[in-house]
Structure 1
């Protein structure tokens, strides 16, 4: 990790809060509380950005997410085993700091199961009932809690989810893309017409026939559903797009078109967080790359630094560089899975999974 990133993390203080579930349930959220930090400031961990002195559209500081889980007890009966169950916390994301400026694309790259999608959920204010969340998030210069983030979802912050199952199975896809019109009377009708025209424009751009608007999600192919999700994200006028694996299921031409749209959106002043495990894709479109491993960002660096491994600070990032096809796949699986031994290295994954993203260890290593 760079010294600048460590400095930014030191400045960030976790502000925990907790809300219990109804009827005495032990399910609880520990939501992001920013009352003690009303002013957004510049963060040095993004100094590699080409907009380093500009406005931070999104800033995440010292984010940690754990889940309360229960281990089965050792009682002889199922009832006794249930009553003797011990509660523990499994940390999935730890001490994570990342930012997105206006006018740039930040790619978050890492293996499956490293916690990338959970980061997207946190930015959107989506938390499971047993989640414990600590840290600070600013959006467009303002401190945000879970409720404020949820209010921006679909408005200021657009989301391209990883799963095509995110589409409402009971609503025709045309209505899902268009959304609900605003206003009353003539204003509402005019807004509905404008939305319909915008949806048709997006459908044409992504090769979707007008007849697709009347279909339900289960009638779409995987690639068509993926294109519908892209249309949903681009329908409004958001400031930030969080795209979680937006291109699987698309052919090369459509994938390139989607990335070009993200690039144009950023160049027009928006911000994009592109979550992917495809580092080659990230390098073609992003301004900066945040390398994710075991629930945290181990390095955040400019795309230009991938020109040489000597410009990359963290051993795992250098391993990724060596593993690219144009560099000959020079990293073996054993080397890629081995934790770096130098100072600041991530801890070994424990048997309980506390150091890793999931208790069962979902990453390929």
Structure 2
């Protein structure tokens, strides 16, 4: 059954989001440039791309967690009433993080309190976000852990006693408490075996199908294919393609040569890696940043291609085959 389109205003509307890091010697790094997308209730948007392309920086900007030498511009409006880029730290800490936006962090060990057990951290979050107290609290904590296949026998352990995969699951359990309208999941499958990857992303999909929005930041294209409604591809700090997941992973496939290269590099496909390396974000070319690695590049690529909401490329691949809509299992 095809998921019906959502006609409500977007949960998150991002326009012109850019992040620059100031370095010594009047240098800067353009970590994110002119990102723009909408994310609807009940939708999963997977943000994919090679490591270092700016995906996690974008998530940090949305939560106001950038370091002091970073400057963000543009807008990121949550539920039509709060510009996350303009909000002060008090607003973000008291009413946004955890309550309106949940976060599955890329480095869970850094977000878990080292001197408290997993159980105590789950119980504290349940008290704060759901109001559960008393005898029911213990069972609620175990239910929260069970959602992400965190073993009950490990609930009384401290973070340093957990494997990387268990720490990841503990962080995911904490993020799901409260059912925030928007969930940012930054590499939520790190350290998990394939079975746990599938169980984790399926739980994220169930969370989304309950009417919440999910921004899934991942390099795991198989996980993205399993649960995403749309895919946004980032390269060298810019979003270069946004497409329906069915079209992206099926037919006609990606239209940006870089996005097509990501799929072709998968072992189950052509297993053909993209030649060369991404450019340094502190020394980006004036034109297309992918041109040096692209077999289709020519003199037009000396000019930066505009993003029209779908693709940013002077040599976009043909879109001449019928689309394959994403259907629910």
Q: If the length of structure 1 is used for normalisation, what is the TM-score?
A: 0.69
Deviation at 1:54, TM superposition (A): 3.3
Corresponding position: 1:51 with 2:5: yes
The one of 291, 294, 301 equivalent to 2:236 is: 294
CA positional deviation for 1:130: 1.1
- The answer to whether the 8 Å contact 2:261/2:274 transfers is no
Is 1:255 matched up with 2:200? no
SS at match of 1:333: coil
What is the alpha-carbon root mean square deviation over aligned residues? 2.7
Shift in Å, 1:124: 1.1
In the TM superposition, 1:69-148 aligns within 5 A as 69-70=23-24, 86-144=25-83, 145-147=86-88, 148=91
How many residues align structurally? 280
Query: Offset of 1:139 from its aligned partner?
Result: 0.7
Displacement of 1:171 in angstroms is 1.9
Are 1:239 and 2:194 counterparts?
Answer: no
Change (3 A) 1:312 1:332: closer
Shift of 1:89: 2.4
- Give SS of 2:255's match: coil
- Kindly state the Cα deviation for residue 307 of structure 1 after the two structures are TM-superposed: 4.8
Q: Which residue in the other structure is 1:179 paired with? A: 124
DSSP 3-state at the match of 2:243: strand
Tell me, in whole angstroms, the C-alpha distance in 1 between the residues paired with 2:50 and 2:274. Answer: 15
Q: Distance in 1 between matches of 2:188 and 2:230?
A: 18
Deviations for 1:274-316, whole angstroms, at most 9, x for unmatched residues?
1001222211110000001111110011011125575533221
Match of 1:266 in 2: 208
Q: 1:203 to 1:294 in 2, by over 3 A?
A: same
Superposed CA offset, 1:189-232 (max 9, x none): x5354443221112234444444232211011112111111110
Matched position secondary structure for 2:264: helix
From 104, 112, 117, the equivalent of 1:160 is 104
- Partners of 2:119 and 2:45 lie apart in 1 by 30
8 A contact 1:178–1:195 mirrored in 2: yes
Would you say 1:338 and 2:280 are equivalent positions? no
Is the CA contact (8 Å cut-off) linking 1:199 and 1:231 kept in structure 2?
Answer: no
Gap change, CA 1:332 and 1:121, over 3 Å in 2: closer
Q: Which residue of 2 aligns with 1:8?
A: none
| Aligned mates of 2:303, 2:102 — CA distance in 1 | 32
Structure showing greater Rg: 1
Shift of 1:142: 1.5
Displacement, 1:249?
A: 1.6
Q: 1:188-267 to 2 correspondence within 5 Å?
A: 191-267=133-209
Q: Paired residue for 1:61?
A: 15
Q: Give unmatched runs, 5+ long, in structure 1.
A: 1-48, 71-85, 348-365
Query: Aligned pair 1:170/2:139, yes or no?
Result: no
